[in-house]
Amino acid sequence: MRSILCDILSAVLPRRCSACGTPLDAKERFWCISCAFIWTRHVQPGLLRFEGRLNWAHSWSWLNLRNPEEKALVHDLKYGGNPLLGVELGRAMAMEWLEERTLGQTMHSEWSLVPVPLHPRRQRKRGYNQSMQLALGWSQCTDMTIAPLCIRSEAGRSFTRYNRSQRVARGNNPFSWNESASPLTPSTQGLIIIDDVVTTGSTLESMHGALRSQWPGPLAFVTLADAAR
Which residue ranges make up the site for Zn ion (CB under 5 A)?
17, 19-20, 32, 35
CB of 135 to Zn ion, least distance (A): 24
CB of 21 to Zn ion, least distance (A): 7
Q: Which is nearer to Zn ion, 20 or 151 (CB)?
A: 20
CB of 63 to Zn ion, least distance (A): 14
Q: Which is nearer to Zn ion, 70 or 195 (CB)?
A: 70
Q: Which is nearer to Zn ion, 72 or 135 (CB)?
A: 72
The partner residues of 63 in beta bridges, in order of sequence, read 41, 225
Strands (E), 77-210: 111-115, 145-146, 150-152, 175-177, 190-198
Task: Tell me phi and psi for residue 4, to 5 degrees.
Answer: -65, -45
Give the SS3 label for residue 152: strand
Q: Which is nearer to Zn ion, 17 or 222 (CB)?
A: 17
CB of 23 to Zn ion, least distance (A): 10
Task: Tell me phi and psi for residue 177, to 5 degrees.
Answer: -65, 135
* 86/68 Cα distance (integer angstroms): 18
Residues 6+ apart with CB under 8 A from 97: 60, 62, 142, 222
Q: Which is nearer to Zn ion, 34 or 166 (CB)?
A: 34
* 226/8 Cα distance (integer angstroms): 37
Cα separations in angstroms, 200 against 67, 160, 163, 228: 19, 13, 10, 7
3-state helix, strand, coil in the chain (%, to 5): 40, 15, 40
CB of 225 to Zn ion, least distance (A): 16
CB of 142 to Zn ion, least distance (A): 26
Find out whether 197 and 169 touch, Cβ atoms under 8 Å: no
Q: Which is nearer to Zn ion, 76 or 226 (CB)?
A: 76
CB of 49 to Zn ion, least distance (A): 30
Q: Which is nearer to Zn ion, 73 or 116 (CB)?
A: 73
